[in-house]
Structure 1
Amino acid sequence: MKSTIADGIHYFGLSGFPLAVRRVETDSAHTPSHPHDLTEIEHSHDFCELVIVTRGGAMHMLEGSVFPVTAGDVFLLQGRQRHYFYERKGLDLINIMYDPEKIALPENELRRMPGYCAMFMLEPTYRRQHRFASRLHLKRVPLARVERLAEEMEQECEEDAPGKEVALRAKLLELMVYLSRAYTSSDTTEAHALLRVGNVIGALENDFSKDWKLEDLLKIAHMSRSNLMRVFRKATGQTPIEYLVRLRIQRAMEMLRNSDLSVTEIALEVGFNDSNYFTRQFRRILGESPRSFRQGKE
């Protein structure tokens, strides 16, 4: 089967705010629910898609693996993941499509929540390995709350009133926080495994200047060294210590732009005990010294 690219321009418009809500409803003829409805056609996106299954069920083909989906399932499809649905039985979906970079989500703040790390960062990576058992599944009452938030976003898109972009970003963040908190209550073994790593990421994000040791992170995760390193690297592409170093450098960049503190003071503020080591790490990651970066941003 040839895969199609779902181009964001078809959903956001040429210059529109990169967030859209699309409903998919299944009738007896499986009539497309909206222009560019690719539900039963293998496709990938150049954006993220948060899928909320509100009714019925189907089989979901994702990257060559098949998973059943039912009402209450909520999961994230990251860009370039090939998928489609088949054997739809009364399947109704709400698809929230967004480009996280272009709408400037506060990722640093979101990653402080273990549930966000688990659901939005880790679960898409481990979905095939866990046979979809690590997904978020909502019962009727929380699903109704999620549907209401999605409906409010849909209404904002349709009305296109002044302030739409601010309202949509705020409602998407509210939805993400609600889902992240709900994920922490997941009762599957697979979800708990992701939450343990999410706890590590959240701890680093919440207290990046702390003198972290790998042993501290192992205690938080309740995992062996080899298991934590493997899962963390698969999810983030980095070791926990490398993640911490890059997190500190990111915070240092903000301080170099927005404060008058010296390079040494900034190094200490973000958790480096040695300003020379800080400078070496800064140069390794960004290709220039902190002083050069500050001068170039003034």
Structure 2
Amino acid sequence: MQIKNFKVNEGLKELTQHRTVELPMACYETTIQQNIHGYIPLHWHEEIQFVLIQKGEAVFQINEERIEVRKGEGLFINSGCLHMAEDEKQTGCVYICLNVSPHFLLSQELFTTYVTPYIQATNLPYVYIDAKELWGRNIIDAMLKIKQLLERKPQYFEIDINIQLTFIWKNLLFNRFQPEYVQKEMVKSQRMRQMLSFIHLHYAEKITLEDIARAGQLSRSECCRYFKRILKTTPLNYVIDYRIQQSLALLQQEESNVTEVAYQVGFNSTSYFIEKFRKLMNMTPLAYKKYKMEDGTDRGAICTNLLNESVYFGTNTKKFF
């Protein structure tokens, strides 16, 4: 199984370029368990996103809400919304992901009226796409047609894709979208991003609750409420978990050792780093390093060795839920 590293910047914006050579959009398959974290981490992007589950099921978190999506069902995730995905039941979930620049949906003359109000709406972080409804079936069929057009690239396929995207957007507007804009909700989202950005920039340094709260222009108690409500964890636990996630790539470097990595990601105690790493990853840092160093050899032998050490990779990874 190919392990992929999902990269975001300090502000949680995904760094992947969602486009083809010809078009400001991308369509690809995602297997959740192939990510280095075992799940798709919290992120956002300017593109709107359509998801269609092909195998298994997944739990998506969009802003503060969680939704379970099963095989044959879909999801629309709005531009700029924080979201993540997890294969909570270990179903081997695979989904089609269609990311589209909002400016590619309609012509410039129609964009202000039929796109802008909806991608800026604070009450529409996502829309569940029900395949049992006609509008939902229409969207899913159009997504599959777009995937096929991108794979085969027949003559004028760019025009055909644009037609399908317009059809998808029209179905959403006619059936689900009632846009509202609440300034308070926008401010809340901005403050959460500011606090997360501060953590991602300074995780290797000493960070206090006061530091995080100050970054979001909040009191300590309100800061804790934000993290509990949106990420289902505490600010300082998030810091610890983020440090562990950052240690994964460092541990894969052949010359690295556990103590050096612990200090590089902000821990001031190797034993504490090992304790927290084991709790999050269900294996020690050394076992993880051994696993990655031996990656590409006999997987059965590796897994047997790790199980003998009473550790197992990737089956019970902690999430920021």
**TM-score range normalised by the length of the shorter chain:** 0.3 to 0.5
Normalised to the residue count of structure 1, the TM-score between the two structures is 0.45
Normalised to the residue count of structure 2, the TM-score between the two structures is 0.42
